[in-house]
Amino acid sequence: MNILIKSAKIIDSQSPFHLKTQDVLIEKGIVTTIASTIKNTNNIKEVKLENLHISSGWFDSSVSFGEPGFEERETIENGLKVAAKSGFTAVAMNPNTYPVLDNKSAVEFLINKANGNIVNLYPIANLTQQAKGLDLAELYDMYNSGAIAFGDYNKSINNANLMKLALLYAQNFDGLVISFPQNNSLSNNGLANEGETSTKLGLKGNPAIAEELQIARDLFLLEYTGGKLHIPTITTEKSVKLIADAKKKGLNVTCSVSAHHLFLTDIELEEFDTNYKVSPPLRTKKDINALKKGIINGTIDMITSDHNPIDIENKKIEFKNALDGTIGLESFFGAVNKLLPLEKTIECITNAPRKRFNLKNETITIGKTANLTLFNPELEYEFNKENIVSTSKNSAFLGKKLKGKVYGIFANNKLTIN
């Protein structure tokens, strides 16, 4: 399709037009002209929006939809609609499904299901058979079918030898291993960050050391095996330090942090609101400060929504029985943009994660395929239920003041404007 985007500020560190306000002409899905003013001679569709910014299309490295198995939480179709509305032109989908995503046909099912959508869906496949943490799944077969990385979502691999084998084996095809940072014997079914709040509320604590010990273990293993490791959703001050040290040593490790772990602390749990029950648990202000610093100095590579839709039946129950997770796509930009410099935020959801997950590099340049996110970073609003298109409404951001609104995306030669 052909569109003319009028006076958009381009945020794209890879583009020669970075930080310039330009008109962008897209013809048949290709950026054909970028100039300070482009005349609309052929009467093509114009996109003219207040304080319009564009960047290359955003990529979220950790989202869950319910399909297959939990369609009542979210379908792929609606999930991708939510992603598009939230500014993401690509998402990596977690193997948080039933049946699990431990074989080639399951991977192909997802890819076929998302085929033709404006948003690209990239499956993360299970690392172990049945996600049981006992034996490796057929990683290479799934890699060939389109799986971009391998991990058991928020189930950690208890067996150090198995993690060692995974890191070694994945090197045969340059695969990326994901290891959820939690030592289960120390987390011990804890319900909240072990700290002042959990003590006051009598909630069983999940201590920071449960995360840090697992990260330390995995980094030791990585040093021994070589290979590529990604650690998703780190949450503690010491975790940041462990990864910074590992990077200094030259280990091939990356990590992410979720928007809710940047935006919220465990103090939110005071009313036992299950929307704040997430895994890993919400931590403290001190941790948030360290995480922000880690993003700024490059220790933390990417930011994710860790979008995890949970149906009301599994949330409107007693805190202990409620499932972990918050939806996060729709509040993502407004939350993160409030906390970090715009260019850094964009870097953490475009080039950095795309590079790590080996996706096609996207940049706003003449002659390239247009893959764009359109947004206004200044608009402030309160996030509430009316903002949620996601089937499940379990948001930890309800009632929060956010800054930055997404207008829409252009990808796969399609435009969607909210």
Partner 1 sequence: MKALSTDHLLGIKYLKKEDINLIFETADHFKEVINRPIKKVPSLRDITIANLFFENSTRTKLSFELAEKRLSADIINFSAGQSSVKKGETLIDTVNNILSMKVDIVVMRHPNVGAGVFLSKHVNARIINAGDGAHEHPTQALLDSYSIREKLGSVKGKKIVIIGDILHSRVALSNIFALQLQGAKVKICGPTTLIPKFITSLGVEVETNLKKALEWCDVANVLRVQHERMDIKYFPSIREYTQLFGIDKALLDSLGKKIVIMHPGPINRGVEITSDVADSDQSIILNQVENGVAIRMAVIYLLAQQIKK
Q: Does 93 bind partner 1 (CB under 8 A)?
A: no
Binding partner 1 (rule: CB under 8 A), the pick from 46, 135, 174, 196 is: 196
Distance CA 16, CA 186 (A): 49
- The residues pairing with 382 across neighbouring beta strands, listed in sequence order, are 401
Helix (H, G, I), strand (E, B) or coil at 130: helix
Q: Which is nearer to partner 1, 204 or 368 (CB)?
A: 204
Q: Does 205 bind partner 1 (CB under 8 A)?
A: yes
Q: Which two tokens stand for residue 257?
A: 């942090």
Q: Does 318 bind partner 1 (CB under 8 A)?
A: yes
In this structure, are residues 217 and 167 in contact, taking their beta carbons and an 8 Å threshold?
Answer: no
Determine which one of 218, 266, 306, 311 is catalytic: 306
Q: Which is nearer to partner 1, 315 or 405 (CB)?
A: 315
Q: Which is nearer to partner 1, 27 or 273 (CB)?
A: 273
Q: Does 275 bind partner 1 (CB under 8 A)?
A: no
Please report, for residues 18, 252, 399, the alpha-carbon distance to residue 331 in angstroms, rounded to integers and kept in the order given. Answer: 25, 31, 11
Smallest distance, Å, CB 218 to partner 1? Answer: 24
Q: Does 321 bind partner 1 (CB under 8 A)?
A: yes
- Any alpha helices (H) in 97-188, and if so which ranges? 104-114, 139-145, 160-169, 184-187
Q: Does 386 bind partner 1 (CB under 8 A)?
A: no
Q: Does 385 bind partner 1 (CB under 8 A)?
A: no
Smallest distance, Å, CB 186 to partner 1? Answer: 12
Please choose, from the candidates 348, 388, 181, 178, the residue with its C-alpha nearest in 3D space to the C-alpha of residue 281.
Answer: 181
Q: Which stretch binds partner 1 (CB under 8 A): 57-65, 143-151, 189-197, 353-361?
A: 189-197
Smallest distance, Å, CB 313 to partner 1? Answer: 8
Q: What are phi and psi of 143, to 5 degrees?
A: -60, -45
Q: Which stretch binds partner 1 (CB under 8 A): 26-34, 38-46, 47-55, 187-195?
A: 187-195
- The residues pairing with 405 across neighbouring beta strands, listed in sequence order, are 376
Binding partner 1 (rule: CB under 8 A), the pick from 40, 188, 289, 358 is: 188
Q: Does 301 bind partner 1 (CB under 8 A)?
A: no
Residues numbered 233-272 forming contacts with partner 1, rule: CB under 8 A: 271-272
The conformational region for residue 188 under phi > 0 = left, psi -120 to 50 = alpha, else beta, is: left
Residues numbered 45-84 forming contacts with partner 1, rule: CB under 8 A: none
Q: Does 204 bind partner 1 (CB under 8 A)?
A: yes
Q: Which is nearer to partner 1, 10 or 192 (CB)?
A: 192
Smallest distance, Å, CB 394 to partner 1? Answer: 15
Helices (H) and strands (E) in the chain, counts: 13, 18
Q: Does 393 bind partner 1 (CB under 8 A)?
A: no
In this structure, are residues 117 and 86 in contact, taking their beta carbons and an 8 Å threshold?
Answer: no
Q: CB-based contacts of 105: which residues, under 8 Å, 6+ apart?
A: none
Q: Which stretch binds partner 1 (CB under 8 A): 69-77, 312-320, 328-336, 338-346?
A: 312-320
Within 10 Å of residue 367's Cβ, how many Cβ atoms?
7
Distance CA 70, CA 310 (A): 9
Could you tell me how many residues of this chain bind partner 1 (CB under 8 A)? 24
> Per DSSP, which regions of 133-242 are E strands?
149-150, 176-178, 192-193, 205-206, 228-231
Binding partner 1 (rule: CB under 8 A), the pick from 19, 35, 296, 317 is: 317
Query: Which helix (H) or strand (E) is 332 found in, with range?
Result: helix 329-339
Please report, for residues 153, 288, 319, 362, the alpha-carbon distance to residue 190 in angstroms, rounded to integers and kept in the order given. Answer: 18, 20, 12, 41
Determine whether 311 is an active site residue.
Answer: no
Q: Does 202 bind partner 1 (CB under 8 A)?
A: yes
Residues labelled catalytic = 306
Q: By the criterion CB under 8 A, which residues form the site for partner 1?
A: 188-189, 191, 194-196, 198-205, 207, 271-272, 313, 316-321
